[in-house]
Amino acid sequence: MLRTLDEFICDTNSLLTFPHYEKPFISIIIVLHNKADYTYRCLQSILDYADVPFELIIVDNASTDSTPVLLQKVKNIHLIKNEKNVGFLNACNTAVEYSNAHWILFLNNDAEIKPYLLSSLLKSGEKNTDCGAVGAKLIFPDGKLQEAGCIIWNDGSCLGYGRGDHPNKPEYSFEREVDYCSGACLLVKRELFQLVGKFDERFLPAYYEDVDLCMKIREQGYKVMFQPSAVVIHHEYGSSSQNMASQLMAINRIKFLNKWKNKLSSFYPASAKNVLFAKERRGSKRKRILFVEDRIPAIELGAGYPRSFRILECLAKLNFSVTLFPLIFPEKREPYTNILQQEGIEVVSGDIRLNFQSFYFERSRYYDVIWISRPHNMKAIIGIIKGINPQQKVVYDAEAIYSNRTILMNEVHGNYLSDEQKISMVKEEISLMNHADIVVAVSESEKKTIQEYCSKNVQILSHTVEADPTPNSFHQRLDILFVGTFLFDPTPNSDAILYFVQNIYPTILDQTGAKLWIVGTNQLPSIQNLSSNNIIVTGTTNKIRDYYNECRIFIAPVRYAAGIPLKMLECFSFGLPAIVSPLIASQLGIADQELIGRDSVDFANKVIHCYNNEAIWNYAREKGLKFIEKECSWDGFQDRIRQMKL
């Protein structure tokens, strides 16, 4: 428990000893003028939570309270003592000259850093070469938000985005480019700070120097970023009086306006209706996309979610401003929520089902494009969208033609439909696509089906997977692998593995002795109950690659499905040969008869043959890897999205 300042000072054995690093990544600069209690808490928070190599540079502007006594008990810092109070601005400009790091962090003494602040700021700064400064999320001591980045209006006034709101709302929780971030906690490239002339002395003694600095940084072609994972508790006006601060801000706003009048003419006017548009600084050609899915796409769930995740990543890489709206299951799912937020994607999530109509009504003129995945989502919201904004551009992503899957499922279970019934089901699903401006199909065959009943522009976007061949040789591997998600029944995965275990696996076990590994998120007792001496049901794992490296054969005995089999692409990428059903072969265009099990007997024989034949095994491995390189490259995936002209 943190002791009071008086307790710390009175204890003759107490010291604040900071670590010494030969090559600090960050120089933390703190300017003091009295307020020793704030300083003590600030320093203690740095000791507790600093998580990258740093050095601490403190400037004492002639403090007259307990600050000098406190500083005598602080070790391994660079201390600059001024005989008079030269103000925050001049003190910072002087302190920078003593920095030995590539980055400098201006930190108010009335701020207490939270865990991972330094590493979060540094990661933002270094992952983009055009980042010049990074700011943190500032939170009041009562838990309310002070700012999540700041807006500059065209009259020179400023607004801390989200002030007074709950700090963990989705709109305050994703990385984004902003107009500026407060100098209370601002990471800046040291050489860039010096290049732009440091803090402008016309704003002496303080206020608006940080706003001006961010404008100068952008003039040099750099960005100012807001990093939501970097959090400080900030006692606003703790280092000065509110009246004095207000007076200085009023004076310096006029100076700032006069200096930047030409540039500010392109900024938004100060208005509540403009906050949504101004919260994120954006180039004139950057488009905003609302991406609607069932849930936050967790890769281990399969069912098209890995593809949705990669689409979101790609849209962010292509410089779209993206909002993800999980329509059915709004709960956060980590690490995917955080990963997407760190890619600059706003992830709308909550503990209760979200109200899409209210959300879209508030943002009906905000999004250039709405991307909707899956027919049930399209059916649920297309009327809302067109009713509020008839001109809204919509992309429908046919992750799969669900009616085809339903037709095959019925036939597998002996419920044969007439041709008229089949056509009616397909037509009904595809009729939803007529409300879209662009339709996205996952394969050439599904594109052809869609074009039979829909005259819209149909583009193909399959999936992207990077080749990552596992190293074990044929003789270093044993057993058979099935990977799939089992969330409800019936599904193609549950049907496939139950059919395999009952009709195919006994022959394989008898001939090879190979065990069967069933890997993936599993909530079905029917699958869990398959566990035996020879069948291992693992459930969710974060070491999926290990299974692909240890097993010799992958199986895909799928009898009904639609879209593209993402697990097959994962299997190919890891260099594991697979025996597949005719349906999977047709979806992927596999023509090698050695790898296709036409029926249960043939499937068992093909597995046994590949399991025992090293030449066939190596041939299948190379074919799969070449397929990934040709059909699933990241560059090709990006190009196909670019060509959609969203």
Could you tell me if residue 645 is inside a domain? no
* pLDDT, mean of residues 498-518: 94
Q: Please report which confidence band the pLDDT of residue 440 belongs to, taking 50, 70 and 90 as the band edges.
A: very high
Q: What is the pLDDT of residue 243?
A: 75
- Give the pLDDT band of residue 230 (cuts 50, 70, 90): very high
Confidence band for 240, pLDDT divided at 50, 70 and 90: low
pTM of structure: 0.87
Greater model confidence, 3 or 193: 193
Domain hosting residue 36, numbered range: 5-278
Question: What's 301's domain CATH number?
Answer: 3.40.50.11930
Q: Assess whether 511 and 417 both reside in one domain.
A: no
If one counts the domains in the chain, the total is 3
Looking at the structure, tell me whether residues 320 and 183 fall in a common domain. Answer: no
Residue 283: inside a domain: no
Q: CATH code at 100?
A: 3.90.550.10
638 in a structural domain:
no
Structural domain ending residue among the three candidates 278, 301, 316: 278
Pair 435, 547 in one domain? no
Quote the percentage of the chain above a pLDDT of 90. Answer: 73
- Find the mean pLDDT for residues 154-160: 94
Q: How far apart are the C-alpha atoms of 367 and 44, rounded to whole Å? A: 45
Residues 111, 42 contacting (CB under 8 angstroms) = yes
Shared domain check, 443 and 395 = yes
- pLDDT of 283 reads 57
Residue 93 has pLDDT above 60, yes or no: yes
Tell me the pLDDT band of 520, cut-offs 50, 70 and 90. Answer: confident
pLDDT score of 454? 87
203 and 255 in a common domain:
yes
Highest mean pLDDT pick, 31-45, 241-255, 446-460: 31-45
> Which string of b and e fits 46-70 if b means at least 16 CB within 10 Å?
beebbebebbbbbbbbebeebbeeb
User: Residues 536-569: pLDDT tens digits?
Assistant: 999 777 788 999 999 999 999 998 888 888 888 9
Q: Are 349 and 330 in contact, with CB atoms under 8 Å apart?
A: yes
Structure-token pair, residue 384 = 């809302």
Whether residue 622 lies inside any domain: the answer is yes
pLDDT at 282 over 80: no
Last residue of a domain, one of 278, 297, 319: 278
Q: Are residues 100 and 234 in the same domain?
A: yes
Q: Is residue 99 part of a domain?
A: yes
Q: Which residue has the higher pLDDT, 381 or 245?
A: 381
Query: Tens of pLDDT along 364-402?
Result: 999 999 999 999 999 999 999 999 999 999 999 998 888
Whether 78 maps to a domain, the answer reads: yes
Residue 65: band (very low, low, confident or very high) from pLDDT cuts 50, 70, 90: very high
Res 408 pLDDT > 90? no
* Gap between the Cα atoms of 100 and 220, Å rounded: 23
Are both 106 and 14 inside the same structural domain? yes
CATH, residue 603: 3.40.50.2000
Q: Verify that 244 and 365 share a domain, yes or no.
A: no
pLDDT of residue 98: 95
Angle at the Cα of 221 from the Cα atoms of 219 and 223, rounded to 5 degrees: 95
For residue 239, pLDDT over 90 is answered with no
Are residues 228 and 165 part of one domain? yes
Let me know whether 297 and 319 are in one domain. Answer: yes
Report d(CA 102, CA 83) in Å as an integer: 29
Residue 209 has pLDDT above 90, yes or no: yes
In a domain, 220, yes or no: yes
Mean pLDDT of the residues in the chain: 91
207 shares its domain with 337: no
% the chain with pLDDT above 70: 98
CA-wise closest residue to 550 among 634, 463, 474: 474
Give the mean pLDDT of 63-86: 94
Average pLDDT over residues 228-240: 83
Are 219 and 322 part of one and the same domain?
Answer: no
Is the pLDDT at 474 greater than 80, yes or no? yes
Q: Does residue 51 lie in a domain region?
A: yes
**Buried b vs exposed e over 369-398: b needs ≥16 C-beta within 10 Å?**
bbbbbbbebbeebbebbeeebeebbbbbbb
Residue where one domain finishes, among candidates 460, 488, 507: 460
